[in-house]
Amino acid sequence: ETQEQLDAFEARIQRGEKIEANDWMPAEYRRQLIRMISQHAHSEVVGMLPEGAWITRAPSLKRKTILIAKVQDEAGHGQYLYHAAETLGISREEMVDALLSGKAKYSSIFNYPTLTWADIGMIGWLVDGAAIKNQTMLAGCSYGPYSRAMVRICSEETFHHKQGKEMIVMYAQGTPEQRAMAQDALNRWWWPAMMMLGPHDADSPNSGVLTRWGVKLKSNDEVRQEFINEHVPELLEAGLTIPDPDLYQDENGDWKHGPINWDEFWSVVKGHGQMNRQRLEARNAAHDEGAWVREALEAYMNRTPAQAAD
Ligand code: ACO
């Protein structure tokens, strides 16, 4: 890597040009993007588990079809993202192996259990709401294949967000049992949703280089602030109580949160959350049970011309 190459690369980023797969890029840009996009892909795939667990228990056919479509969307998002990462020279097998062996990270949020049906609505409202804030920013990122994947993913996430909000608002205005179920779901998902947007900026080692190279256009705390500012008034309007006694609105209109339990966050990230073990076991079982599909695909690819003509 020469200084001229780096200067020319940074000048392109400054001009707002997209970097494409075959363009020159610093090795560290490539490494950071592979790290981030593969973690993101794994999150989409593991994210199917907490919601998939409720498909058979959805309270109506309408809710069931919505949930099936949503879980299927997450699989599609995983596909685009694995492909976006592959453009940087890593193989699908390497990424999947890293996930299945527990080496790769995926979003902390999916290591919490879905205990009631309201959790499905709360995930749509809060978790997809947080994801949209982060991913709308990433749609503007400097790496072309990632930014384009984000455009489509965000529009699908918007449907997920709306169905979750609609469901929770309905329960919050429903029977006492429904209201209690919605509040309990908020009590359990509020803080994990805040944490999923990443550590405070001062504790975010990757932010410096990602910002410099136009991957992150906003910091973790800025995205978290956007998330709170949008969601706090809506949750209050729905009649729910946010489980943060220190929450207040400052003179600029920003909602300010109390201290986040980062010990809990790091413990989940390091594999000690409530569901880390089950999530990896489920992914490994799905991978093993799907071996015959991969074998069939390979046999099909390797068919002889005579077989292909058949
Ligand atoms: N869960 C698990 N690990 C996390 C999380 C999280 N919520 N937030 C940060 N980390 C990890 C980072 O991956 C990094 O570890 P690494 O260097 O070993 O890879 C470490 O904590 C330090 O964090 P940062 O330096 O702040 O990491 P980064 O700059 O990458 O910012 C962020 C984290 C905001 C999550 C970023 O990677 C990102 O925008 N990723 C793409 C979006 C994404 O992955 N979303 C997944 C959930 S959305 C969904 O699936 C519905």
Position in ligand 1 atom list of the atom nearest CA 206? 25
ipTM greater than 0.85: yes
Q: What percent of the chain has pLDDT over 90?
A: 98
Query: What pLDDT score does 310 carry?
Result: 79
pLDDT tens per residue, range 84-94: 999 999 999 99
Asked whether 133 lines ligand 1 (CB < 6 A), one says no
Average pLDDT, the chain: 97
The stretch 151-157 carries a mean pLDDT of: 94
What DSSP element (H or E) covers 296?
A: helix 291-301
* Helices 61-86 and 144-172: angle between axes, nearest 10 degrees: 160
What residue spans define the domains of the chain? 3-309
The stretch 163-169 carries a mean pLDDT of: 98
pLDDT tens per residue, range 102-143: 999 999 999 999 999 999 999 999 999 999 999 999 999 999
Query: What pLDDT score does 198 carry?
Result: 98
Centroid of ligand 1 to alpha carbon of 293 (angstroms): 31
Inter-residue contact 216 to 207 (CB < 8 Å):
yes
Position in ligand 1 atom list of the atom nearest CA 199? 26
Centroid of ligand 1 to alpha carbon of 105 (angstroms): 8
Query: What pLDDT score does 300 carry?
Result: 95
Asked whether 219 lines ligand 1 (CB < 6 A), one says no
Buried b (16+ CB within 10 A) or exposed e, 151-171: eebbebbeebbebbbebbbeb
175: left (phi over 0), alpha (psi -120 to 50) or beta: beta
Level-2 CATH architecture, domain 3-309 = Up-down Bundle (1.20)
Please name the residue whose Cα sits nearest to atom 47 of ligand 1.
Answer: 107
Centroid of ligand 1 to alpha carbon of 219 (angstroms): 12
pLDDT tens per residue, range 254-305: 999 999 999 999 999 999 999 999 999 999 999 999 999 999 999 999 999 9
Say which residue the tokens 């685009």 belong to. Answer: 80
Inter-residue contact 44 to 35 (CB < 8 Å):
no
193 pLDDT band, cuts 50/70/90, is very high
pLDDT tens per residue, range 199-213: 999 999 999 999 999
Residue 151 has pLDDT above 90, yes or no: yes
